[in-house]
Amino acid sequence: MLIYENDISEKFKAGFSLEGGNRFLLNGRFGVIIKTAFLQWKNIFPRSDLFAGYFPTPAFVWGLSERLWNYRFVEKTISDFRNLTTPVDLGVSLRGSFDKNSEFGYSFMIGNGSGLRPEFNKFKKFYLSFNFNFTDMMYELYFDFEPDSDGRNIRTIKGIMGFSFFNGNLTIGTEFLGQGRIKYGTNGENISPAALNFYLYSNLLKNKATKKPLLKIFARADIYDPDLNTDSAGYRETFYTAGLDYMPMENVHIVPNIWINSYLKKSDSLPDRKSDVVVRMTFYYTYK
């Protein structure tokens, strides 16, 4: 990803980013997409900023989920991984805090709801989140609602908790998400996907000279059901990832990791599915 941000003045900031590698052109080559393009109006009123354009939603970077998990370069957060929330959208948003110490924050957004796709209807998506950030504890409540024609709608709620121990050397987090897709079934029935995950990461070694982390360990487990309303169709899925994060320099990460996704059939009439297992070496670098 290539990110460019420019402080136009004390009040206004512009942001633009490109992302490649996740889309293909017709000739089979990697494509490049516009990830964000927005204008930020700082302190439109005390402790609150206004955003307009194409930018991350409250379910993504601006929410607690992405910041707490901290290993997107290994895998997306559970709601993004399962396509249950929209990571970026075109719209307007108000984001800020209720107190001077930024312990109680909020984010509200109205967007198209189409994410990286063009918009084809008149309906808008509404996002709302509240986060609570203390020294060793972090919480977030998130809700979104997207109406559609013929009485259909999609509503999502999730809760996030994170805890830090031993002066930040160990972090533990969990996230639950439930969604109601009203009248989206084949015969107009409701569909209710749900997801739950747990993760942790911890410092193992620190650089003696800089006192910054040199080696970390991380692990995560997800449980996902595509529809809680049925026990006789589809598969429940469990996802695991774990690895070591070696940082020879502050912004350089060399990460050997494993990625496993297993399947549990809901009906004996369904065929067994083998687990997907991938052993990977991930390289990540932040250029500043």
Give per-residue pLDDT as tens, 156-175.
999 999 999 988 899 999 99
The domain tally of the chain equals 1
pLDDT of amino acid 181: 96
CA–CA distance, 235 with 223 (Å, rounded to integer): 11
Kindly indicate the confidence band of residue 63, based on its pLDDT and cuts at 50, 70 and 90.
low
Exposure of 276 in the CB half-sphere (CA atoms within 13 A): 9
Answer whether residue 26 is part of any domain: no
CA–CA distance, 254 with 184 (Å, rounded to integer): 43
Answer whether residue 215 is part of any domain: no
Answer whether residue 282 is part of any domain: no
Name the phi and psi angles at 149, rounded to 5: -75, 165
Name the token pair of 10.
Answer: 């004390």
Give the mean pLDDT of 265-275: 92
With CA atoms as reference, report the closest residue to 15 among 32, 3, 24, 25. 3
In percent, the amount of the chain with pLDDT more than 70 equals: 95
Of the listed ranges 139-143, 160-164, 210-214, 279-283, the least confidently predicted one is 210-214
Rg (CA), the chain: 20
pLDDT of amino acid 96: 93
Kindly indicate the confidence band of residue 203, based on its pLDDT and cuts at 50, 70 and 90.
very high
Answer whether residue 283 is part of any domain: no
Q: How many CB atoms lie within 10 A of CB 86?
A: 26
Answer whether residue 16 is part of any domain: no
Of the listed ranges 16-30, 85-99, 154-168, 241-255, the least confidently predicted one is 16-30
State the residue for tokens 């003045």.
9
Q: How many CB atoms lie within 10 A of CB 135?
A: 8
Answer whether residue 3 is part of any domain: no
Exposure of 119 in the CB half-sphere (CA atoms within 13 A): 13
Residue 62 reports pLDDT greater than 90 = no
Which residues form the domain of 149?
46-208
Residue 21 reports pLDDT greater than 80 = no
CA–CA distance, 134 with 126 (Å, rounded to integer): 27
The CA-CA-CA angle for residues 59, 90, 158, to 5°, reads 15
Answer whether residue 4 is part of any domain: no
Give 30 or 180, the one with higher predicted confidence: 180
Answer whether residue 196 is part of any domain: yes
> How far is residue 87 from each of residues 49, 59, 98, 113, measured CA to CA in Å?
19, 6, 24, 10
Beta bridge partners of 49: 95
CA–CA distance, 124 with 191 (Å, rounded to integer): 21
